[in-house]
């Protein structure tokens, strides 16, 4: 999911600089791994069907999931990609040339003002970034027809760690913080980070029911993260902010890269299994 940045005035950074910084620490490198495509295709394959004519790809970013949706739609179906980042939408428009898709700038917080009477809203790898999940899920319900589906997934939830692997994740963060201290940088443990607010599958299900959905179908998909994918997630801004709050992004990325090596040596983990939460809820 993209991020809208405020305009800066005076001697502060320009919008172009902020967008470049966001791209440098974006989720995009992580999305190029095959398992990422697989967990997204898993849910798209279960949601896209001919009877669902209007499909929203919410938080579409540069269009990775949009491409998967377009693989399955027919000539009578319409796809609307929505993202707050104009630069991400520009990349999506440059990469995807299909009459079936339209890209709009907007936010999950007011999706019903952009699209009404949708048959499916797909919101992949982004719901964990939403501060007020209850209001956003209610907003998504407003945009859907009765019988429409809301599908989302995330690997940032309470239950993501496969049994026996939590020590690796803890050790990685501990060693990254150690690297920072060696370099004279302290981690602000009291700092707040949205990426650390993990909900459980049951908590997500309850939010859906309260918003006017039936109890969602919930699945856990286990994938294996390679050393390369771990390095890529360690360069993602929200992962850095969650693991090392208050640390400048470049310093955090560098520390996580070195901390990863130390954690791998100490724990013996190189390929690390991790769960993806996949949910499909039907509007009642």
What the block records as the tokens of 148 is 């429409």
CB atoms under 10 Å from CB of 67, counted, come to 19
- pLDDT tens-digit series, residues 209-218: 999 999 999 9
**Does the CA dihedral 248-254-258-260 come out positive or negative?**
positive
Whole-model pTM: value is 0.86
Phi-psi domain of 16 (left: phi exceeds 0; alpha: psi -120 through 50; beta: other): alpha
pLDDT confidence of residue 186: 87
The dihedral formed by the CA atoms of 93, 96, 97 and 102, expressed in degrees to the nearest 10: -60
pLDDT confidence of residue 252: 97
Q: What tens-digit pLDDT sequence spans the chain (284 residues)?
A: 433 333 223 455 555 555 666 678 888 889 899 999 999 999 999 999 999 999 999 999 999 999 999 999 999 999 999 999 999 999 999 999 999 999 999 999 999 999 989 999 999 999 998 999 999 999 999 999 999 999 999 999 999 999 999 999 999 999 999 999 999 998 876 655 444 578 999 999 999 999 999 999 999 999 999 999 999 999 999 899 989 999 999 999 999 999 999 999 999 999 999 999 999 999 99
Question: What sections of 96-183 are H helices per DSSP?
Answer: 111-114, 133-143, 166-182
- pLDDT tens-digit series, residues 9-52: 345 555 555 566 667 888 888 989 999 999 999 999 999 999 99
Residue 56 bridge partners (DSSP): 80, 121
Residue 279 bridge partners (DSSP): 152, 218
């Amino acid at each position: 999911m993209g991020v809208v940045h405020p305009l800066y005035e005076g001697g502060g950074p320009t919008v172009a600089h902020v967008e470049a910084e966001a791209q440098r620490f974006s989720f995009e490198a992580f999305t190029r791994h095959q398992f990422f495509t697989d967990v997204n295709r898993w849910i798209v394959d279960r949601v896209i069907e001919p009877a669902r004519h209007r499909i929203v790809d919410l938080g579409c970013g540069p269009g990775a999931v949009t491409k998967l949706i377009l693989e399955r739609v027919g000539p009578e179906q319409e796809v609307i990609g929505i993202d707050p980042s104009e630069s991400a939408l520009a990349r999506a428009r440059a990469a995807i040339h299909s009459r079936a898709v339209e890209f709009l700038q907007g936010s999950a917080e007011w999706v019903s003002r952009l699209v009404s009477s949708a048959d499916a809203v797909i919101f992949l790898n982004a719901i964990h970034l939403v501060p007020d999940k209850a209001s956003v899920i209610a907003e998504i319900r407003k945009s859907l027809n009765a019988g429409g589906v809301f599908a989302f997934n995330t690997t940032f939830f309470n239950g993501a760690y496969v049994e026996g692997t939590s020590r690796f994740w803890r050790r990685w963060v501990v060693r990254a913080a150690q690297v920072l201290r060696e370099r004279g940088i302290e981690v602000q443990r009291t700092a707040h980070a949205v990426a650390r607010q993990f909900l459980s599958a049951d908590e997500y299900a309850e939010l859906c029911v309260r918003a006017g959905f039936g109890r969602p179908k919930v699945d856990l998909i286990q994938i294996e993260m390679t050393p390369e994918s771990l390095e890529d997630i360690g360069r993602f801004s929200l992962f850095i902010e969650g693991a090392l709050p208050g640390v400048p992004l470049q310093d955090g990325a560098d520390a996580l890269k070195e901390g990863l090596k130390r954690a791998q040596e100490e724990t013996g983990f190189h390929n690390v299994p991790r769960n993806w939460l996949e949910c499909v809820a039907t509007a009642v």
